[in-house]
Structure 1
């Protein structure tokens, strides 16, 4: 049976709302209307404004089958970004796959702070550790064309996605390389930024992240092991007065501050996101 755009949206929203009710103790889908519109627009290769302009247009049988399949996958909990293969971040749209974390709005706080410390007219060396889709590295490189940005990741699949994004955006002052943090690196760096794995393996929040790569999410020592390792390496590789900037869990601010202070970083502070949650901790390598 054929459906118009409006009928397809009404059906899909009701499907996703039912899931919301069935899972009232763990609300999986809190934006059923938005999700449905994004998935239908992607199916039809249109934008959401087109959907509102042409609600009476009829979907072809193939289009309807594709859309229903996407809704069922969304209903099973698969993130919209993976279903459409892209996610907006900063000023651009990035390719994402299940090999990478989905860039989140909270990470833009890290980008904003980093940009406030990067000179606009100097060659400034920045490393993004655990770069994933390349979101942070690309945002910084796009805003500071004189900087030299390197994104490191252990996953070859993630690096392939990051390189696709770099080529699509035509950003030339960033490169992506394979590496486990800075274990195999030599040289001095002006700034290190990282959104590393920081979730404890027993954290209940993992239940809602089953489609994202577990290696990019979970760390030992209550989620702090990678932050400790990066902080130790930062002491070796940062130039004096170089910046170390972490994104972390909203309950980890005090622990991350303690780690950085124990490793002789100075001016260590934690920044809150727009919800007032501690999200980014920063510090400066003390001159010898």
Structure 2
């Protein structure tokens, strides 16, 4: 190819073009997405793009970037393209084997940290750990806690273990188990049980964007006709695995507060706390094991 016939694209020029292209294609956060994908292509931090805005891209870099652009407009989430999602100020590795951690789940971590500090050395179980975002964040904040994390998906646990190895300081260990809910823990009890379980109903699942429905694991999203299947099983089994005064914390979907509260009360739990997100939507329910049960 004649190099004089091929335009030399600088970082700034290609960012501007890609941002406009993403806008036309309806991609959310077009400028941020363009920056994340280009930084990933160049194996640099986003700040590098601003410092070296006039740097031309090599042909191979342009080729790689174009591939990412096409995959993004076809619906692949940015996080799966870069392999990274930030959560609790930590950079978690993510693949299509795990749900992409959402910012609202930090409300669950925040409350779990607060409650965990009331125990000298809490035993904490994270059910359905996925990428390990909740469990690893808790281990950062509660280094003396004994933290156990489980998932039914061995592929997800592989990612969670990698994240624990790369994100936890040396000497801070946690234990991973493969299995459905409490199956790996027949005799164990905990001070805190935390979970961001699947909670999408049949109707909600059908209405999800293709970006979520076609790319993120259905196992981590779908929870039966009414979206409550996993809550029913989790809450029914929780009491037998809690220490006295132990607490269960679950993330809930929009509009699920009353139904999940009722499930807890049917199992003789008292509601400790309901946390709303910044939009005023109930996102986390904490329920304490009744001392009389």
Where does residue 23 of structure 1 map in the other structure? none
Aligned pairs, number: 280
Q: Does 1:267 align with 2:271?
A: yes
Cα shift at 1:276: 1.2
Query: Which of the numbers 153, 157, 160 marks the counterpart of 2:158?
Result: 160
Q: Does 1:224 align with 2:228?
A: yes
CA distance in 2, matches of 1:163, 1:36: 30
Where does residue 205 of structure 1 map in the other structure? 208
- Which has the higher mean CA deviation after the structures are superposed, 188-197 or 166-175? 166-175
CA distance in 2, matches of 1:206, 1:257: 28
Question: Is this contact kept in 2: 1:243–1:282, CA < 8 A?
Answer: yes
TM-score w.r.t. length of structure 1: 0.94
Question: Is this contact kept in 2: 1:96–1:102, CA < 8 A?
Answer: yes
Where does residue 238 of structure 1 map in the other structure? 242
- Which structure 2 residue ranges, 5 or more long, are not aligned? 1-5
Query: Which of the numbers 60, 67, 79 marks the counterpart of 1:81?
Result: 79
The verdict on how the C-alpha distance between 1:206 and 1:37 changes in structure 2, with shifts beyond 3 A counting, is closer
Structure 1 runs, 4 residues or longer, greater than 3 Å off: none
Cα shift at 1:189: 1.1
Deviations 1:217-275 (A, max 9, x none): 00114110101100011011111211100011121111111111111111344210111
Deviations 1:35-93 (A, max 9, x none): 00010011111222221122111000000000011011111111111001011110311
- Which structure 1 residue ranges, 5 or more long, are not aligned? 21-28
Where does residue 17 of structure 1 map in the other structure? 23
- Which has the higher mean CA deviation after the structures are superposed, 98-107 or 50-59? 50-59
3-state DSSP class of the match of 2:222? coil
Where does residue 214 of structure 1 map in the other structure? 218
Cα shift at 1:173: 3.1
CA distance in 1, matches of 2:239, 2:75: 41
3-state DSSP class of the match of 1:220? coil
Please show how residues 90-129 of structure 1 align to structure 2 within 5 Å.
Answer: 90-119=88-117, 122-129=120-127
CA distance in 2, matches of 1:235, 1:121: 18
Question: Is this contact kept in 2: 1:257–1:269, CA < 8 A?
Answer: no
TM-score w.r.t. length of structure 2: 0.92
CA distance in 2, matches of 1:268, 1:223: 23
RMSD over aligned CA atoms reads 1.4
